[in-house]
Homo-oligomer: A and B are copies of this chain.
Amino acid sequence: MSRRRARTRERRSRQALAQLPWRQVQNPYSAIEVLTPEQVEQIHDASLRVLEEIGVDFLLPEACDILRGAGAQVENGGERVRFDRGLILESVAHAPRDFTLHARNPARNLTVGGNHLNFCAIASAPNVSDLERGRRPGNYEDYCNLVRLGQALNIIHLFGGYPVEPVDLPPETRHLDCVRAFVHLADKVTHAYALGRQRILDGIEMVRIARGVTHEQLLREPSLFTIVNSSSPLRIDGPMLEGVIEMARHNQVVVLTPFTLSGAMAPATLAGALVQQNAEALAGIAFTQMVNPGAPVVYGGFTSNVDMKTGSPAFGTPEYTRAALAGGQLARRYDLPYRSSNANASNVVDAQAAYEAEMSLWGAVMGHANIVMHGAGWMEGGLCASFEKMILDAELLQMMAVFLEPIEVNGDTMGVQAIAEVGPGGHFFGVGHTLERFEHAFYTPLVSDWRNFETWDESGQADATQRAHALYKKILSEFEPPPLDAAIAEELDDFVARRKKEVASAA
């Protein structure tokens, strides 16, 4: 693509959407701490007792061999693994406190750790919906459109899995089509599912091809991540463990996230759920370091609660927010990067979807999460990806990013001169101090409508969800994929074709 054409595209895409420019977000404010330092130590201590006395089931013989070799006690002929607290702490201490995640476009590389904040698109929903066509099972067309949206929205830093599961593609080769589509449509960091050894190895190779780097360079530069959910309580599945082993061996990023739903898969107390979350996370993280000391890993927290009357999972509850903040304190206890989520349980993109998302986001942001999974588009406790919610969440994320810009305080910004010029009873619209700042003084929203009631009423009374609908259609209609080197596209196509043949002949 010529530079001129690139510029034209750039201009067109800027006109399409008045959004924040791509930026890495940092949180300069102190984290909210809902646990006292003594409480953090209590939870730390109890979770080590769980690992010493109760143990965790690792459902893969190869994993048990690695664990035994590293000094863990593996039950005779079984899969129950108990850890001495010294072994856990020593292993976890090998993990890096921060690292760079490399994208195929180096301008999209991300720092994970410290006060860096990275927002993911939604991942892994089985259904998809929008206002026009309603709710439907996940499919490849919607998958591609959600990837396009995630690419077009600058505030989305990376993809945390398939935004929606394309169930119209055969499961054995779905990962090949999905990663290929991803590379064609986006240039941001992405994710592969730890569903057995081969899928992860395919994902690693495809990301290597997409970046156009050697195997050796890839081993030095984390470029792919995978979410590993323990099967709470206290169990990690075999296919997940195969993925963990290959990712750690290849120096790629494992995000170890217990899904500790208080009252169902974890105790019906926040303290108990956090003890269990911490035990499971530490066990998995220690395991990655036994595979490959120094491999990049992230402490994931996903503690929420069920509705005790019905058993329904709930998200963005007051319990959820406190658990998200406490999770950050625990991750920092071990100097590990932290992952949280933007979750809600609403069935419709309404006020509930928005307030539960905000409660989740405030927990993630002020808990100093480094990766916020499901940052945009998540509905129904993860069962549906919504196009309109993706746009609304982009607004929420942008607002957070601007909230995290420290107030600039100096002689010029304090404007005593301007206050004197305007004087008591005057107006600031016309003064130089205001005119100089006309364009960029304040956040410009994507979705929020600040017109007065009468103007809004006469212009058709669209609510935020309807406005988000129009916006997502517009973005898709104007979407142009990021440039991709023809040789890379070809190499990727060849790889996919070869692997599909192999899968077919193995069947």
**A residues lining the B interface (CB < 8 Å):** 29-30, 32-35, 39, 42-43, 46, 49-50, 53-57, 80, 127, 135, 231, 233-235, 262-272, 274-276, 279, 305-308, 310-314, 317-319, 321-322, 326, 345-359, 362, 366, 380-381, 383-384, 392, 395-396, 399-403, 405-410, 413-416, 418-420, 422-429, 433-434, 437-439, 441-443, 445, 447-453, 456-457, 461, 463-465, 468
Q: Which 4 A-B pairs have the closest CB atoms?
A: A272-B415, A358-B358, A318-B402, A354-B354
CB closest residue in chain B, given A361: B358
Q: Are A266 and B428 in contact (CB under 8 A)?
A: yes
> Roughly how many angstroms separate A192 CA and B68 CA in the complex, as a whole number?
74
Given contacts A319-B442, A351-B464, A428-B268, contact A451 B359 (CB under 8 A): no
Q: Are A265 and B234 in contact (CB under 8 A)?
A: no
Report the minimum CB–CB distance from A328 to chain B (whole Å): 13
Q: Which B residues lie within 8 Å of A429 (CB)?
A: 263-264, 311
Q: Are A423 and B54 in contact (CB under 8 A)?
A: yes
Q: Are A307 and B450 in contact (CB under 8 A)?
A: yes
> Roughly how many angstroms separate A383 CA and B49 CA in the complex, as a whole number?
57
Q: Are A56 and B447 in contact (CB under 8 A)?
A: no
Q: Are B448 and A345 in contact (CB under 8 A)?
A: yes
Report the minimum CB–CB distance from A313 to chain B (whole Å): 7
Q: Are A348 and B463 in contact (CB under 8 A)?
A: yes
Given contacts A55-B424, A414-B275, contact A434 B263 (CB under 8 A): yes
Q: Are A29 and B39 in contact (CB under 8 A)?
A: no
With A234-B425, A267-B434, A347-B449 known, 15 other A-B pairs at CB within 8 A are A29-B34, A235-B425, A262-B442, A263-B429, A263-B437, A267-B418, A270-B413, A271-B413, A271-B414, A271-B415, A272-B413, A312-B451, A321-B403, A322-B403, A348-B456
> Roughly how many angstroms separate A16 CA and B171 CA in the complex, as a whole number?
50
CB closest residue in chain B, given A29: B32
> Roughly how many angstroms separate A32 CA and B416 CA in the complex, as a whole number?
26
Which residue of A49, A276, A413 has the most chain B CB atoms within 10 A of its CB atom? Answer: A413
Q: Looking at the complex, which one of B262, B312, B347, B352 makes contact with A447 (CB distance below 8 Å)?
A: B352
CB closest residue in chain B, given A234: B424
Q: Looking at the complex, which one of B29, B314, B399, B441 makes contact with A263 (CB distance below 8 Å)?
A: B441
Q: Looking at the complex, which one of B57, B272, B317 makes contact with A425 (CB distance below 8 Å)?
A: B57
> Roughly how many angstroms separate A465 CA and B362 CA in the complex, as a whole number?
23
CB closest residue in chain B, given A461: B348
Q: Which B residues lie within 8 Å of A406 (CB)?
A: 34
> Roughly how many angstroms separate A400 CA and B233 CA in the complex, as a whole number?
29
11 chain-A/chain-B pairs, Cβ below 8 angstroms? A54-B420, A233-B426, A263-B441, A265-B427, A268-B438, A279-B419, A308-B439, A347-B449, A350-B465, A354-B358, A355-B357
Q: Which B residues lie within 8 Å of A56 (CB)?
A: 424
Q: Which B residues lie within 8 Å of A30 (CB)?
A: 30, 32-33
Q: Are B318 and A50 in contact (CB under 8 A)?
A: no
Report the minimum CB–CB distance from A123 to chain B (whole Å): 19
Q: Which B residues lie within 8 Å of A416 (CB)?
A: 46, 49-50, 53-54, 275
Report the minimum CB–CB distance from A470 to chain B (whole Å): 14
Q: Are A441 and B409 in contact (CB under 8 A)?
A: no
Q: Looking at the complex, which one of B50, B349, B384, B410 makes contact with A453 (CB distance below 8 Å)?
A: B384
> Roughly how many angstroms separate A231 CA and B423 CA in the complex, as a whole number?
12
Report the minimum CB–CB distance from A448 to chain B (whole Å): 5
Q: Which B residues lie within 8 Å of A347 (CB)?
A: 449, 451-453, 456-457, 461
Q: Looking at the complex, which one of B57, B401, B419, B452 makes contact with A234 (CB distance below 8 Å)?
A: B419
> Roughly how many angstroms separate A29 CA and B29 CA in the complex, as a whole number?
14
Q: Are B383 and A453 in contact (CB under 8 A)?
A: yes
Q: Looking at the complex, which one of B414, B434, B438, B463 makes contact with A351 (CB distance below 8 Å)?
A: B463
Given contacts A33-B30, A231-B425, A429-B311, contact A351 B392 (CB under 8 A): yes
Q: Which B residues lie within 8 Å of A384 (CB)?
A: 453
Q: Which B residues lie within 8 Å of A407 (CB)?
A: 34-35, 39, 270-271, 274, 322, 326
Q: Are B453 and A380 in contact (CB under 8 A)?
A: yes
Report the minimum CB–CB distance from A219 to chain B (whole Å): 33
Q: Are B267 and A419 in contact (CB under 8 A)?
A: yes
Q: Which B residues lie within 8 Å of A274 (CB)?
A: 407
Q: Which B residues lie within 8 Å of A57 (CB)?
A: 424-425
Q: Which B residues lie within 8 Å of A408 (CB)?
A: 269-271
> Roughly how many angstroms separate A380 CA and B449 CA in the complex, as a whole number?
10
> Roughly how many angstroms separate A124 CA and B410 CA in the complex, as a whole number?
36
Report the minimum CB–CB distance from A366 to chain B (whole Å): 7
Q: Which B residues lie within 8 Å of A357 (CB)?
A: 355
CB closest residue in chain B, given A39: B409
Q: Which B residues lie within 8 Å of A321 (CB)?
A: 403
CB closest residue in chain B, given A451: B312
> Roughly how many angstroms separate A33 CA and B433 CA in the complex, as a whole number?
27
